[in-house]
């Protein structure tokens, strides 16, 4: 009986890490942002109608946020003269702030001394409207978390061969550096339990038992993560899932028998945050 049976089938194994899909989710946690100062400019060319076809498109940002007590800089970097006047063209100025005419290249500063959502407009070009939100310093604002889901797969192939007085379990992983736990039981008794690291894509384990139809050996492989041994914090990849096989070696088998191909997959979720303007 030989135990050097493993190489012929190896080249046909599929070695894959599949990145299958990207999905989007969203949750709405709270966070804090610095709004101690904001600069508002007219949209370029807003002296001619057109910018109003986009909501709040005539000022940039169209909806601005500043902390109560913070500084608002109205900077006219457009070629036409504009005003930034609290209120609306329909109802007139409300008085929170009014820059009067700000010539091209000039600016006007206002310390936000009143909280609220303040509409403002340009008296020269009444289609120009914007909103300034004056909020308590450190006020909560809505942050959207963008979730990206990546499905990672680890393929584990379990094969066995009968060797003299025992069984050799051969594993083939689709990744290098898989840390795993192998447990073999026979008739309710643990006949092999090891935590191991597969430096290469293959690994072998010897079991001092031979399975039979009446007493098969059950082999479980649990992926603990992919990465250097000992550096568990940096391990990646699917973990915790189980690949199983029933080992019933036929005595005298020459070719390695492939018992199980398990695809262990996880959905890895990474999160990025982006701030949503408050309307």
Binding site for Cu ion (CB under 5 A): 82, 122, 124-125, 128
- Rounded to a whole number of angstroms, the minimum distance from the CB of residue 68 to Cu ion is 27
Closer CB to Cu ion, 74 or 180, in the complex: 74
Quote the CA–CA distance of 124 and 83 in Å, as a whole number.
7
| 35 versus 125: smaller Cβ distance to Cu ion | 125
Longest Cα–Cα distance in the chain: 98
* Closer residue to Cu ion in complex, CB, 122/209: 122
Min dist CB 21 to Cu ion, Å, is 48
Q: How near is the Cβ of 47 to Cu ion at its closest, in Å?
A: 6
User: Minimum distance between the CB of residue 130 and Cu ion, rounded to whole angstroms?
Assistant: 11
Q: Which residues contact 7 (CB under 8 A, 6 or more apart)?
A: none
In the complex with Cu ion, the residue whose CB is nearer, 122 or 155, is 122
Per-residue burial over 117-138, b if 16 or more Cβ lie within 10 Å, else e, is ebbbbbbebebbbbbbbbbeee
Specify the 3-state DSSP secondary structure of 249. Answer: coil
| Residue 21: Cβ-neighbour burial (10 angstroms; 0-12, 13-18, 19+) | exposed
What's the token pair of residue 253? 């088998």
- Who's near 19: CB < 8 A, 6+ residues apart? 150, 151, 152
CB of 31 to Cu ion, least distance (A): 34
- Please identify, using beta-carbon distances, which residue of 111 and 124 lies nearer to Cu ion: 124
1 versus 101: smaller Cβ distance to Cu ion: 101
Residue 27 CA, distance from chain mean position: 13
The string over 239-267, giving b where at least 16 C-beta atoms fall within 10 Å of a residue's C-beta and e elsewhere, is beeebebebbbeeeeeebbebbbbebbbe
Q: With respect to Cu ion, which residue has the nearer C-beta, 18 or 89?
A: 89
**Least distance from Cu ion to the Cβ atom of residue 124, Å:** 4
Shortest separation between residue 235's beta carbon and Cu ion, angstroms: 59
Give the C-alpha separation, 30 to 145, whole Å.
10
Q: Closest Cα partner for 156 from 217, 250, 239?
A: 239
């Amino acid at each position: 009986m030989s135990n050097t049976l493993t190489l012929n089938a190896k080249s046909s194994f599929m070695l894959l890490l599949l990145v299958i899909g990207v999905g989007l989710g969203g949750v709405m946690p709270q966070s804090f942002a610095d709004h101690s100062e904001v600069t508002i400019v007219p949209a370029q060319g807003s002296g001619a109608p057109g910018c109003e076809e986009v909501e709040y498109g005539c000022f940039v940002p169209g909806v601005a946020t500043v902390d109560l007590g913070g500084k608002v800089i109205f900077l006219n970097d457009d070629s036409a003269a504009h005003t930034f006047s609290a209120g609306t063209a329909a109802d007139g100025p409300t008085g929170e702030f009014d820059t009067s005419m700000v010539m091209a290249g000039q600016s006007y500063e206002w310390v936000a001394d009143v909280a609220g959502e303040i509409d403002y407009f340009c008296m020269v070009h009444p289609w120009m409207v914007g909103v300034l939100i004056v909020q308590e310093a450190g006020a909560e604002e809505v942050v959207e978390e963008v979730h990206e889901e990546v499905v990672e797969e680890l393929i584990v192939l379990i094969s066995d061969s009968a060797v003299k007085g025992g069984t050799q379990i051969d594993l083939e992983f689709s990744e290098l550096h898989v840390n795993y736990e192998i447990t073999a039981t026979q008739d309710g008794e643990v006949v092999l339990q090891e935590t191991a690291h597969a430096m290469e894509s293959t690994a072998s384990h010897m079991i001092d038992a031979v399975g039979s139809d009446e007493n098969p050996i059950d082999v479980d492989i649990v992926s603990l993560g992919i990465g250097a041994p000992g550096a568990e914090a940096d391990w990646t990849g699917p973990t915790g899932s189980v690949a199983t096989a029933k080992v019933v070696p036929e005595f005298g088998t020459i070719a390695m028998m492939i018992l199980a191909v398990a695809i262990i997959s996880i959905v890895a979720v990474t999160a990025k945050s982006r701030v949503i303007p408050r309307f």
